[in-house]
Amino acid sequence: MEKDYVVYSQTMAGFLMLNGCKLKKMAPSKQDSSMYVYFFPNTDYVSEYAQRYIKNRK
């Protein structure tokens, strides 16, 4: 079974979805029930756009 690409930032999750990444599921955070954790497929495409988000954030 392939592990998911896990995102804790709503902003990053939104960026990934706007760039064509498919959200698999989301769940309330175990540490803070007012926040969510976002699960994406662990693909090269998702990794590439996650890196773009991190690079452009600075």
Rounded-to-integer distance, Cα 24 and Cα 38, Å? 8
Report the first-to-last Cα separation within the chain, whole angstroms: 34
pLDDT band at 2 (very low <50, low <70, confident <90, very high): confident
**Confidence band for 58, pLDDT divided at 50, 70 and 90:** low
Q: Residue 2 contacts by C-beta under 8 Å, 6 or more apart in sequence?
A: 41, 42
- Which pLDDT tens digit goes with each residue over 22-56? 999 999 999 998 999 999 999 999 999 999 999 99
7-21 residue pLDDT tens: 999 999 999 999 999
pLDDT for res 55: 95
